[in-house]
Structure 1
């Protein structure tokens, strides 16, 4: 992996690259509000997808690079994401915008504007825990590009069955919570869970790689 600092209007962001030898697509993926790029699902994608011809760009938002503990407002997250897009798009291949939790919301809000050919939404926070009336479904439904949601079956921010109908794919991670952690008693290991995620994303992204622009998809 290689890393670079990118100056944005929200401060310095960092991109950690895991390059494919002959990339046909870039997956730019951001972290959530409660953690960084060390999340097991993000690391699993970075380890797996380059072998499928997909360069992975793990994006750390400026607040995280600066060592702050609390994420800023959504509009500031969007500013940071926009600031790195020119770098990830400069590879000359289509770019899928991705993220986990808050990062998934950012990807959905900005996908069409930035020219992403798809959105990967990991643990999309459909609503705050225990408050289904405060739905963020409009962000997901408004992405405007092919979208895949990967959601834990026991995610308190929205179980798969709570999502509205829409033009997006859904992959359920058995027993998974918001961080895709699974209880020991369920008989499923964390390694197995990561494999479910990476296999599903690789299969979905195979079709996205045929796109040359967002309109083609």
Structure 2
């Protein structure tokens, strides 16, 4: 594991590299607006995928690196993501652009312009909680590249059945909320949640290469 500071027009971002021995591609993962790259789904992917030929790059947006607690406007998040892209592409491998929540939105909005190989959207916030009329489906459908959504069955930002049909793949995580936490009495355990996420992503990536 190595870290790299990358200057962008939005400030300094940080990449934590989890490198595969014989990488086939790079999976770049951004974090959400309410947390950083310590999110358990991001960490689980960073631990699981390098053994399968996938170098994982966990990207911390400049606002997090600067120690701020509130995420900036979407345009600024996009600027930060575009700024780190040359470093992500530097190994010369296909880059899958991804992230959780707000990071998933960034990946979708910028994928076509950056030449991303595909998009991985973890906990895509389809709408604000309780406001299904405020749909962000156009961002997801507009990615322009193969896309996989990994969504909790009880996510208040959009349950799997609320998503439009077609245009992307879907991995459902039963009982999970926006952070992929499950109730104590749920049939799906926290350990099984991570298995579903990492297994689903691994199979999808294998289909891309």
Q: TM-score range by the shorter chain?
A: over 0.9
1:112 matched residue in structure 2? 112
Inter-partner Cα distance in structure 2 for 1:187 and 1:27: 30
Gaps of 5+ in 1: 211-217
Gaps of 5+ in 2: none
2:59 matched residue in structure 1? 59
Give 3-state SS (helix, strand or coil) of 2:49's partner. helix
Note if 1:87 corresponds to 2:87. yes
Give 3-state SS (helix, strand or coil) of 1:120's partner. strand
Count residues with an aligned counterpart. 209
- Give the TM-score of the pair, scaled to structure 2: 0.99
| Cα offset, 1:190, TM superposition | 1.1
CA distances 1:156-175 after superposition (whole Å, capped 9, x unpaired): 00000000123100110010
| Cα offset, 1:189, TM superposition | 2.0
**What are the residue-to-residue correspondences of 1:33-52 with 2, within 5 Å?**
33-52=33-52
Inter-partner Cα distance in structure 1 for 2:79 and 2:58: 17
CA distances 1:61-118 after superposition (whole Å, capped 9, x unpaired): 0000000000000000000000000000011110000000000000000001001010
1:143 matched residue in structure 2? 143
Give 3-state SS (helix, strand or coil) of 1:121's partner. strand
Cα RMSD, aligned residues only: 0.6
- Give the TM-score of the pair, scaled to structure 1: 0.95
**What are the residue-to-residue correspondences of 1:168-207 with 2, within 5 Å?**
168-207=168-207
Note if 1:6 corresponds to 2:29. no
2:31 matched residue in structure 1? 31
4+ residue segments displaced more than 2 Å:
none
| Cα offset, 1:187, TM superposition | 3.3
1:121 matched residue in structure 2? 121
